[in-house]
Structure 1
């Protein structure tokens, strides 16, 4: 994780964390921690495979992150409303702001109050993103018109500073949701069906310029798509192969191997012989 540790100090002061279940026979949960670079690309910080999303798992994960990355002033950690995440942050990061994903909170509101989904979506997210109190109150009144209970739910059960930009104790740099974690979950969809040991050896994030690519070395795949379509390791896959001291030849298509080359010219081509003989035979 050396490159991530060095790069972290140049990224926004927001860490997005999430947990997603693994689908193999023995189960387990993949925990991830991500941020964004100057071009708002996903920048991976850490991942771990644990038994489940519980207090011990999340606290261990956060302590490892803090050990590797330290604690930057005005840091904000964004997640869904999982209770174990909140408990772990309180125990490990006493001076860090914990913000909740506005999309997950919107889904909670929609389910709890059975309001018009489209109208609630517009009013709530406008309130969450508001830059001044006047706009915030305007959109909160729109929510009042949909259901009076929302006004009591948001400050009392959730707290304004958890989801509203104007109330946040730390800058969220427009990171109002945990969408970047969901993007990684989608990219790792196939990996989540593998047993724990193979799964943990397949996740490789390779930074190339301003883009982060995910390499699945076992499936000979990369999100840049070159590895998949050309059947030759792309530059991202080659970086992983070198790092793991693997034999690059094993990840090339047979058609690009020395053996394929030799087999292509294995048969002998016999000369036609003297032209006179050819003419007499006809």
Structure 2
């Protein structure tokens, strides 16, 4: 269990049989696994109270971070928790203002949600999304125009315009496709797939004219700077990244994610220290590919700034204004193939036409900080007489109605034992 925390009880039973020749019942194995989890990771219920110590430790060892733990003062029940490390706060200023919002469910004993921005709440409600976005506003730089990308959660749709009224809110294309596919159940599969593919073509079309040609009606509204990202896959990747951590008690879970962040920041900082170019290597390679794809095109010079590129369709490139009539330069924030070939005929430097977000210097700035360790050796032992934050009350799903039947003698005895266990204060699985 220490090496593989996600090991299930049903997997332990055959291991004990195969390696030790032991025939152990599933119930006994389940009890053993639960006890081992408490020994290794601590008790799930006590872990909520340990968030207080963890919050103080974060601010002590990583000053400038932002932490907020919210609980009901009357019954001392946990509500919500949010943490943003100082290196993430300052590193965001060196990244494009495009934020992805998503919420994977936790796998521990107490249900909850873990959004990509390190908040833990009980469910995706309008109240919780409003609280989270309000806290997020205390972390991110509000001077920049932010574009949010999400899966169109109902609570988020209500909260976003109230907390970030001037921000753009774009929807994940993959979720839109899935919604469209679900709404067309019963329709011929071939025709349905054709419509879903067409939706993708509409979304990726960079020009209004091309969009009108494929879709007769276009509602003119601000989509914000998507930077070529039409899905929230980056958020889904983060969810997969924290897959193992979601099974741990809440304080251990936050600490496990913090450890992963610390390692990633260090690895990327070390990688960037080896770069000597002006532009990040990935985009240097993209430049070369774009030039190879466009070098057979003819370029006509209008003046020192404006060029006409004769590709499959002719386009106009205005280098001084950073525009191309294909609109890809504006959408991606990175020169398209038309711009790359036009610059070859101009006095401009290609590197100067790239947004600073793609520069090595900016990458260095994003990962220049370090997340410092939070040692648990100084953590005080749990004192039951002290003020304690308890876990939230988990609502059980309603039981399915069962048909009335006469219980057998064995079922009667089982019911009697369960009632007796309850009277003794124990829990019978």
Alignment TM class, shorter chain as reference: 0.5 to 0.7
Look up the match of 1:190. 244
Look up the match of 1:66. 137
Alpha-carbon contact 1:49-1:200 (below 8 Å) kept: no
Look up the match of 2:25. none
Alpha-carbon contact 2:101-2:115 (below 8 Å) kept: yes
Counterparts of residues 1-282 of structure 1 (less than 5 Å) = 1-32=85-116, 46-114=117-185, 116=190, 117-140=192-215, 167-204=221-258, 205=261, 206-207=264-265, 208-209=267-268, 243-245=373-375
CA deviations on 1:150-204 (whole Å, 9 max, x unpaired) are: x8xxx8xxxx57xxxxx53421101211100100111111222223232122112
Alpha-carbon separation, structure 2, partners of 1:21 and 1:56: 17
Alpha-carbon contact 1:59-1:92 (below 8 Å) kept: yes
Look up the match of 2:380. none
Alpha-carbon separation, structure 2, partners of 1:103 and 1:190: 25
Alpha-carbon separation, structure 1, partners of 2:270 and 2:136: 23
CA deviations on 1:238-261 (whole Å, 9 max, x unpaired) are: x76x521368xxxxxxxxxxxxxx
CA deviations on 1:17-47 (whole Å, 9 max, x unpaired) are: 1011112221111111xxxxxxxxxxxxx31
Alpha-carbon separation, structure 1, partners of 2:148 and 2:250: 27
Alpha-carbon separation, structure 1, partners of 2:136 and 2:270: 23
Alpha-carbon contact 1:97-1:170 (below 8 Å) kept: yes
Alpha-carbon separation, structure 1, partners of 2:223 and 2:144: 11
Displacement of 1:59 after TM fit? Answer: 1.0
Alpha-carbon separation, structure 2, partners of 1:245 and 1:191: 18
Alpha-carbon separation, structure 1, partners of 2:107 and 2:120: 12
Look up the SS of the partner of 1:186 in the other structure: helix
Displacement of 1:7 after TM fit? Answer: 1.4
Alpha-carbon separation, structure 2, partners of 1:169 and 1:179: 18
Alpha-carbon separation, structure 2, partners of 1:181 and 1:193: 19
Displacement of 1:134 after TM fit? Answer: 2.5
Look up the match of 1:38. none
Alpha-carbon contact 1:127-1:137 (below 8 Å) kept: no
Alpha-carbon contact 1:13-1:172 (below 8 Å) kept: no
CA RMSD in angstroms comes to 2.5
Structure 2 runs not aligned, ≥5 long: 1-84, 272-369, 378-429
Look up the match of 1:42. none
Alpha-carbon separation, structure 2, partners of 1:55 and 1:174: 29
CA deviations on 1:119-144 (whole Å, 9 max, x unpaired) are: 23321111111111222133336xxx
Alpha-carbon contact 1:123-1:140 (below 8 Å) kept: no
Displacement of 1:79 after TM fit? Answer: 0.3
Structure 1 runs not aligned, ≥5 long: 33-45, 142-150, 162-166, 213-238, 248-282
Alpha-carbon separation, structure 1, partners of 2:246 and 2:231: 23
Alpha-carbon contact 1:14-1:175 (below 8 Å) kept: no
Alpha-carbon separation, structure 2, partners of 1:197 and 1:51: 15
Alpha-carbon contact 2:93-2:141 (below 8 Å) kept: no
